[in-house]
Structure 1
Amino acid sequence: MWTSWSGNVRFTPERVFTPSDEAGLQQVIQDAHARGGTVRVVGSRHSCSDVYVTYDTLVSMERLSGLVRADTDACTAAFLPGTTVEQAGTALMPHDLAMENMGHIDQQTLAGAISTGTHGAGKRLPNLSAQLIGVRLVDGTGTIRVFDEDNHPDTMQALRVSLGALGVFTEVTLRLLPQYRLVRKQYRASLHDCLIHLHDLMDTHRNFLFYWYPRRDDVTVRTWDEDDRDVPDLPFGELYKTARGYAKDVLPSEQELRFNELEYSVSLEDAVACFLDIRARIKAKHRKDVGWRVLFRPVRGDDSWLSNSYGKPAVVAITIHQNATLPYQPYFDDIETIFRAYGGRPHWGKKHSLRAADLRTLYPKWDAFQQLRSQLDPEGVLLNDHLKTLFTDDE
């Protein structure tokens, strides 16, 4: 039985393959295509959605890991898809390169993080998929294809956040930055002060987020800035933790406790109102059952067709959590109604209840994505039941 990191997803596939090269992966997909079967791919299992669940053929990327090549002058590097974000950061150090941004967790595979729109925090920083400038993949017919942003700009906009529905990545090329160091500061502050200064915080700091625990009245504010910048401490709150180091070491944070998540991205203009509605609902109905934080992270917009920040200057990703050992569905269902009232878009790797008819109204390039999917996977070899509810219910 395969189990997700949080333990909420459990399934037993009929077949499991761990190919060590592209040819082996290609053969698995060709065989599934020939017999009318399906294939899904699993990375680090950090998603708490059913995006990788299959009762047919599961492909693990654990043997397709490592740096393929790096170009320090061009600030690019190519990786095998099963390389984790942490491994990528370490491999880039000798080449004096670094990823532009990272999320809270660095154990996801690059292919999984890119394909689900994983992001960090920062109004001027897009999600990880925006760093993807080229890809090799095996499509749903078992054909190897190569795309890059110079020659296939529209296709790349679709591929960057594609949930593995357009093909299985075998190599990803990323646009990077020269290696850099950051200082991370953590403050305790009142919610009132945080919201009063919110736009200054988002504009001043390279990375910024805050979170609120339902059984507390204050919030935690976290900022990151280049170590060579003279950024003063916040004019409010109590500074209680500081860390300095290379970006790969101070952008992520340790996650010892396991949890399930619901996350939607809403427009920058609606973010505070949405957060306050969620806070009020939790205090009124869920405070005795929920102790985990509500996280508020700005993210720069992008042009990836299924990105939850598509077509906007910036969005705010608001995330609610529940301990992995406790019931979460009634809580998530209730808060999801608030997200939907604000026109929010769900994180593809986290829990949500939206189906194809709901999603089409949220993504202007939805039909274009479906058209490309029909070309790259005409028989639906790369779909599981979960993706069918996302992509085919209204066809």
Structure 2
Amino acid sequence: MTRPFVNWSRSLSFTPAEYVEAADEDEVRALVSRARETGRTIRPVGSGHSSSPLVRTDGILLNLDRMAGVISDDGDLATAWAGTKLKALGEGLYDAGLAMDNLGDVDYQSIAGATATGTHGTGVRFGNLATQLVGLRLVTGTGQTLDIGRDDNPDLLPAVRLSLGALGVITQVTLDVQPRYELRRRAWCAPLSWTLDHLAELQHTNRNMDFYWYPRSDQTQVRTMNRADEEGTDRRGWYLTQTQADDRLRDVEVGPTHHTIPRSRDLRFEEIEYMLPAEAFAACFAEVRRRIMQRHRRVVGWRVLVRTIAADDIWLSNAYGRATMTIACLQNVDLPHEDYFRDMEAVFRQYGGRPHWGKKHWLTARELRPLYPRWDDFQRLRRRLDPDGVFLSPDLATLLEEA
């Protein structure tokens, strides 16, 4: 069958030649083989939260929602079907007495889609979600199924953990998990100057910490999370006491990780996010703030989000080889965003930023290649696993193939 596809923010819409909801791995292999024989592209799709055109195709759009649920767990590892939504995964792991190490800001993404695009949370000790993958099953462009992990094809793991769906269709993932635990989440408002003055302390003495900056008021909302059985140095109580701030600004929540970390998002928005070398953050943020206040404040209706990610060794990870801080600019879907985002992208690039794969950006392979030391290795592997370009849609070719 076929039907139009519209993503979460409604900024991307297209009608593939065929839309398929695969029920099992055998059906995935058959679809890939058929696409190869007929010269069509096939693109896997998760929840459609991404605002970049990674899934757009005039061929086969493959939905894995029917391949969902936790398959097995043994205390240290848990295996789930690739189409499992993060919310359902959190509940399934919790029922088994387990939890993921960290999560992102929303929970309606599929686990395969979230890891394939570099979804991340925050915390100086935590990498993006893909770093929690220790194994995968992959249907390659030739229809072959590969087990990839510590014991099978371990040399492929740094590439396949985050691959934009360019190496094949992931059907199962195996996660490094831990016994379930609860987090205490706190939030309070403070002037931007105070937040920046205390930023390093807040980041390094709390399990998770991020902040929103609101350009219209020049205020921030600071958010910290720590295990309920441990305490961080969030300074919320100190700040409220010293400033006699309105206690109604206080927000404290205690619960399991899959409830306390993700937030619901009723309003739709567009977003650009870049990952920066941690040492470049201060100068970059100062320029971002200057440009927003001088050029864009009139139209900026949403906030700017700042988070941290630990370095990793994943070839296409935005945090490859360096401690990372991120700056994300959000804008309501009903407000203009392109001029604003393009101006921010120019700043991010000036400071060595790498774009979030699943969000708005305008870079092509020519600009992306110098940002990733293992770029050429990834391209060689992609051509080996998908020699006929079954997964290489025109949009993906723009990202990965230099003209």
Give the structure-2-normalised TM-score. Answer: 0.95
2:255 paired with 1:255: no
Asked if the contact 2:206–2:234 (Cα under 8 Å) also holds between the matched residues in 1, the reply is: no
2:92 paired with 1:91: yes
Q: Match for residue 279 of structure 1?
A: 289
Separation (CA, whole Å) in 2 of partners of 1:230 and 1:202? 13
**3-state SS of the aligned residue for 2:266?**
coil
Separation (CA, whole Å) in 1 of partners of 2:26 and 2:402? 33
Separation (CA, whole Å) in 2 of partners of 1:180 and 1:150? 29
Separation (CA, whole Å) in 2 of partners of 1:366 and 1:232? 39
Q: Match for residue 167 of structure 1?
A: 168
Question: Using a 3 Å threshold, how does the CA distance of structure 1 residues 41 and 9 change in structure 2: closer, same or farther?
Answer: same
2:115 paired with 1:114: yes
Separation (CA, whole Å) in 2 of partners of 1:198 and 1:231? 14
**Residues 316-336 of structure 1: per-residue CA shift (max 9 Å, x gap):** 111001111222111111110
Q: Pick one of 320, 332, 349 that aligns with 1:340.
A: 349
Separation (CA, whole Å) in 1 of partners of 2:298 and 2:201? 34
Corresponding letter in the other structure for 1:332: F
Q: Pick one of 315, 322, 337 that aligns with 2:331.
A: 322
Q: Match for residue 16 of structure 1?
A: 19
Separation (CA, whole Å) in 2 of partners of 1:168 and 1:352? 24
Asked if the contact 1:18–1:63 (Cα under 8 Å) also holds between the matched residues in 2, the reply is: yes
**3-state SS of the aligned residue for 1:236?**
helix
**Residues 179-215 of structure 1: per-residue CA shift (max 9 Å, x gap):** 0100000011111111111111110000000111121
Corresponding letter in the other structure for 2:354: R
2:310 paired with 1:297: no
Corresponding letter in the other structure for 2:347: I
Q: Match for residue 265 of structure 1?
A: 275
Out of 223-232 and 381-390, give the one that drifted further.
223-232
Corresponding letter in the other structure for 1:325: D
Asked if the contact 1:193–1:236 (Cα under 8 Å) also holds between the matched residues in 2, the reply is: no
Separation (CA, whole Å) in 1 of partners of 2:232 and 2:379? 46
Q: Match for residue 385 of structure 1?
A: 394
2:59 paired with 1:56: yes
**Residues 195-242 of structure 1: per-residue CA shift (max 9 Å, x gap):** 111111110000000111121121110000010113355132556111
Question: Using a 3 Å threshold, how does the CA distance of structure 1 residues 330 and 132 change in structure 2: closer, same or farther?
Answer: same
Question: Displacement of 1:119 after TM fit?
Answer: 0.3
Question: Displacement of 1:94 after TM fit?
Answer: 2.2
Separation (CA, whole Å) in 1 of partners of 2:156 and 2:282? 34
Asked if the contact 1:356–1:392 (Cα under 8 Å) also holds between the matched residues in 2, the reply is: yes
Corresponding letter in the other structure for 1:284: Q
Question: Using a 3 Å threshold, how does the CA distance of structure 1 residues 303 and 150 change in structure 2: closer, same or farther?
Answer: farther
Corresponding letter in the other structure for 1:175: D
> Unaligned regions of 5+ residues in structure 2, if any?
none
Q: Match for residue 148 of structure 1?
A: 149
Asked if the contact 2:207–2:232 (Cα under 8 Å) also holds between the matched residues in 1, the reply is: no
Separation (CA, whole Å) in 1 of partners of 2:234 and 2:131? 31
Question: Displacement of 1:393 after TM fit?
Answer: 2.2
Q: Match for residue 228 of structure 1?
A: 229
Stretches (4+) displaced over 6 A: none
**Residues 89-144 of structure 1: per-residue CA shift (max 9 Å, x gap):** 00011221100101110100000001001000101111000011111111111111
**Residues 59-110 of structure 1: per-residue CA shift (max 9 Å, x gap):** 01111111111112xx110010100111100001122110010111010000
2:72 paired with 1:69: yes
Give the structure-1-normalised TM-score. Answer: 0.97
Q: Pick one of 236, 254, 258 that aligns with 1:244.
A: 254
**Residues 289-330 of structure 1: per-residue CA shift (max 9 Å, x gap):** 111111000111111000000011x20111001111222111
Asked if the contact 2:224–2:234 (Cα under 8 Å) also holds between the matched residues in 1, the reply is: no
> Unaligned regions of 5+ residues in structure 1, if any?
none
Separation (CA, whole Å) in 1 of partners of 2:321 and 2:296? 34
Identity across matched positions, percent: 45
Q: Compute the RMSD of aligned alpha carbons.
A: 1.1
**Residues 249-282 of structure 1: per-residue CA shift (max 9 Å, x gap):** 1011111111011010001111121112111111
